[in-house]
Amino acid sequence: MKTQEKTQDLIDSFSEFKELKNIDRERLMRILEEVFRAALAKRYGTDDNFNIIVNIDKGDLEIFRNRVIVEDGNVQDPKREIEYSEAIKVEPDFEVGEEFSEPISLSEFGRREILTIRQNLNSKVQDYEKSLVFQKYKEKVGEIVVGEVYQPWSKEIIVQDEEKIEMSLPKTEQIPTDHYRKGDVVRAVVQKVEMRNNNPVIVLSRTAPQFLEQLLAAEVSEIHDGTITIRNIVRVPGERAKIAVESYDDRIDPVGSCVGVKGSRIHGIVRELNNENIDIINYTPRVDVMIQRALSPAKTTSVKVFEEEKRAEVYMEPDQVSLAIGKGGCNIKLASKLVGYNIEVYRDVDEDFDDVDLREFDDEIDQWIIDVLIGIGCDTAKSVLNISKEDLLKRTDLEEETVDHIIEVLQSEFE
């Protein structure tokens, strides 16, 4: 291929980049100038005495080399100076000391130079596009985006937005009951955006509290306009979530507003989260009252708060303990996180004088094991024995041999 043909290909590519790339006119002009200045600097040793004029619409690019006219025999720097006799061959009216400007044809560049320019141009355009993607999604961190599943893999799902920008939804950021196939629509929150090997990596999440927060803000206008504030959100994704809300307007019920008439506002969110149970709680600065509300649906009889230890002892009827603990301890763990206190649940056993406090067995059962049992709401011997061995193993994660020893010790007390 002739150099002139290669040059024309290069000129034609300018408009191609303009049409195919998401780059504004001024940025493309700057990129073109940067690429050609690099080529000029390599060819002529400098680029500071060159003017480059780019016309994107016409696909034109003009280069002018500027040198100062000096008397014949006085040229000290050929890159910046030209003899008078050479200058007047172009224009007879030139005088010594004037600036001599001559056009540089792209045909003067060799095949390799043209190829290098094209490669550099393509590379800079790609880098700029990557920076645009990075900046766009960096500003969206904490916001919900909608995309389509492009590639479902075992460890992550690749999601594309409407501009075919790829985002990653890792398995760890999916709700356990999420199942996706190619083409499915996904809603998730942008968790983080970072550059890896000069490529923007956009990580999505459906398990982050921010996802639930943004879903609520979209459904509840009072949250969106700031009348209702979300004080805290804690979640076990796919199972349960607790949300503390507060209203700055005494006329507005924050819990009722979030739930909506007959649950109209919350039902859509629950479906989006694969039937995750959502407890919405009216925030109060009173820790004891907040704990009572956080343990919902269980009802408490009394609460003792130890502020310095960030700990609370909660007493309730025996039939309420399992509700307070929840499946796998989920309810009490979330309540503790929501309030910021370590909550310990105790049975209100005043009516059972034949029962024995677990702490009295510390000579036969290790203290840390007693603490584990208390943590699931069992503070007396009978409260432990009333639970099946299978449930004890599941709730405490203790070894079977340890559970057998506990049951044997406690049963011997009543024999």
Residue 2's pLDDT band (cuts 50, 70, 90): very low
Phi, psi of 303 (to 5 degrees): -135, 130
Closest CA to 240 of 199, 183, 281, 190: 281
User: What 8-state DSSP symbol labels residue 164?
Assistant: -
- Comparing 107-116, 187-196, 312-321, 337-346, the range with the smallest average pLDDT is 107-116
d(CA 240, CA 279): 8
Q: What is the pLDDT of residue 3?
A: 43
> What mean pLDDT do residues 40-61 have?
81
Task: Please state, rounded to an integer, the average pLDDT across all residues of the chain.
Answer: 87
Question: What is the Rg, in whole angstroms, of the alpha carbon atoms belonging to the chain?
Answer: 36
What's the rounded Cα separation, in Å, for the pair 54 and 40? 15
Strand partners, 316: 347
Question: Residue 5 pLDDT > 60, yes or no?
Answer: no
* pLDDT of residue 359 exceeding 50: yes
Report whether pLDDT(30) > 90.
no
In the three-class reduction of DSSP (H, G, I as helix; E, B as strand; rest coil), residue 93 is classed as coil
Residue 266, Cα to own-chain centre: how many angstroms?
A: 24
Q: What's 322's DSSP letter?
A: H
Question: Can you give the pLDDT at residue 42?
Answer: 87
Structure tokens at 410: 């406690």
Residues in the chain: 415
User: Reduced to 3 states, what is the DSSP secondary structure of residue 139?
Assistant: coil
* Mean pLDDT along residues 281-303: 93
Residue bearing the bigger pLDDT, 266 or 122: 266
What is the reported pLDDT for 56? 64
Q: Which pLDDT does position 52 carry in this prediction?
A: 87
pLDDT for 51-96, tens place per residue? 888 776 666 678 899 999 999 889 898 888 899 998 898 888 888 8
Instruction: Specify whether the CB–CB gap between 39 and 31 falls below 8 A.
Output: no
Q: How confident is the model at residue 12 (pLDDT cuts 50, 70, 90)?
A: low
Domains with residue ranges and CATH for the chain? 3-135 (3.30.1480.10), 147-205 (2.40.50.140), 208-283 (3.30.300.20)
pLDDT at 216: 95
pLDDT at 353 over 80: no
Mean pLDDT of 142-161: 95
Percent of the chain exceeding pLDDT 70 equals 91
* Pairing state between β 277-282 and 240-247: parallel
pTM over 0.85: no
Beta-ladder partners of 96: none
Between 129 and 18, the higher pLDDT residue: 129
Cβ-based neighbour number of residue 285 at 10 Å: 8
Is 307 exposed, middle or buried (CB count within 10 Å of its CB: 0-12, 13-18, 19+)?
A: exposed
Which pLDDT score, from 0 to 100, does residue 14 have?
56
Residue 6: what pLDDT? 46
